[in-house]
């Protein structure tokens, strides 16, 4: 998910900028990793409410 939604579009956008450099294009990888970490932390901290409070 992070590769398709963050890394590839960001690398493309950075590569078509005026005065594009490998440094700017290379920032796509750490950015996608940071997004993945944030998503994993959110999924870990906010599990589905159905599991905690069953309505049976």
Q: Tens of pLDDT along 5-49?
A: 899 999 999 999 999 899 989 999 999 999 999 999 998 988 765
The whole-number pLDDT of residue 55 equals: 62
Tell me what pLDDT residue 38 has.
Answer: 93
Inter-CA distances, 41 with 22, 32, 46, 47, 52, Å: 30, 14, 8, 10, 18
pLDDT value for 41: 92
Sequence-ordered list of residues with C-beta below 8 angstroms from that of 2, at least 6 positions apart, any chain: 32, 33, 35, 36, 39
Look at residue 1 in the predicted model and tell me its pLDDT.
Answer: 80
pTM above 0.75, yes or no: no
Give the angle subtended at the CA of 5 by the CAs of 2 and 28, to the nearest 5°.
70
| pLDDT for res 16 | 93
Give the pair of three-digit tokens for residue 32. Answer: 């996608």
Placement of tokens 């589905």 in the chain: 48
């Amino acid at each position: 998910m992070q590769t398709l939604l963050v890394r590839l579009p960001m690398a493309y956008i950075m590569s078509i900028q005026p005065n594009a450099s490998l440094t700017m294009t290379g920032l796509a990888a750490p950015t996608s990793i940071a997004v993945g970490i944030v998503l994993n932390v959110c999924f870990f901290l906010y599990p589905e409410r159905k599991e905690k409070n069953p309505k049976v």
